[in-house]
Amino acid sequence: MTTSSVSRYGIRVFALGYLALLLLVPIGVVLYRTFEPGVGAVWDSITTPAAVSAFWLTIEITAIAVPLNTIFGIVAALALVRSRVRGKRFLEALIDLPFAISPVVIGLALFLLYGRQGWLGPTFTNAGIQIIFSVPGMVLATIFVCLPFVVREVVPVLREIGDEQEQAASTLGASRWQTFLRVTLPAIRWGVAYGVVLSVARAIGEFGAVSVVSGKISGETITLPLLVENRFSNFDLAGAYAASALMAVIALAVLLAMTLLQRKGDAR
């Protein structure tokens, strides 16, 4: 074995070991602990009314927040890359803000804005809409923390493909909308797909911001991450593990679905 291959293997062992220690081992422990009491116990634990409600709430919030963010993300990316408007730098920084701010602070900000004593809170309360300690607030929090993902994935792809194909489409008679649907969107679809996967993972797992605005009303405003925390603080470790495993399964299912779609799209 030469020195270079030694160092190459050394780097690989180190990288894999690092990943294993930080990612695989904790996840493995969770899965092991989950199924330690037996599959039946796990099934019982994730089919309690509280768990079922948390599952569907998580899905509901994700199903609202991710499509909205996807549309916003594509529009914002187009504005950042294709338009000649001023203040692009500012818009870019603004979109990155949720990455820079702690989710708890985001939750607090929403609380201050829409809470009972907040700036906008009373207006909404008078209109009969409750935002804080209710699902709308949790959706807002989720949208906020997931905001940058689609934009960040689509912007580099848009930059790379350039605008010549779009110009060609316009000279061939395609309207802006036709150009977007037939040329731009297919060209950026993998960027969008990857952004969606990241957004879904984050939306399912978001704890901090959602925790502040949820009010943790059992069976109403408890999502899966909140359920995990809830069970954990009530010393229901097996229950917490089971709920965690359920979240991992949802995330894996989304990842798998995207991979399959991508395979299908690239099979040519």
List residues near other proteins by CB under 8 A.
164-165, 167-175, 178, 182-183, 186-187, 268
Q: Minimum CB separation from other proteins for residue 157, in Å?
A: 12
CA distance 198 to 254: 10
Q: Minimum CB separation from other proteins for residue 264, in Å?
A: 14
Q: Minimum CB separation from other proteins for residue 159, in Å?
A: 16
Nearer to other proteins, 128 or 173 (CB): 173
Helical spans, DSSP H, in 162-236: 164-171, 176-179, 185-205, 208-214, 224-233
Nearer to other proteins, 167 or 218 (CB): 167
CA distance 226 to 54: 8
Q: Distances in Å between the alpha carbon of 100 and those of 75, 95, 147, 233?
A: 22, 10, 12, 29
Nearer to other proteins, 88 or 182 (CB): 182
Q: Minimum CB separation from other proteins for residue 71, in Å?
A: 21
Nearer to other proteins, 106 or 193 (CB): 193
Under 8 Å between Cβ of 51 and 245: no
CA distance 262 to 19: 26
Nearer to other proteins, 188 or 210 (CB): 188
Under 8 Å between Cβ of 138 and 210: yes
Q: Minimum CB separation from other proteins for residue 160, in Å?
A: 11
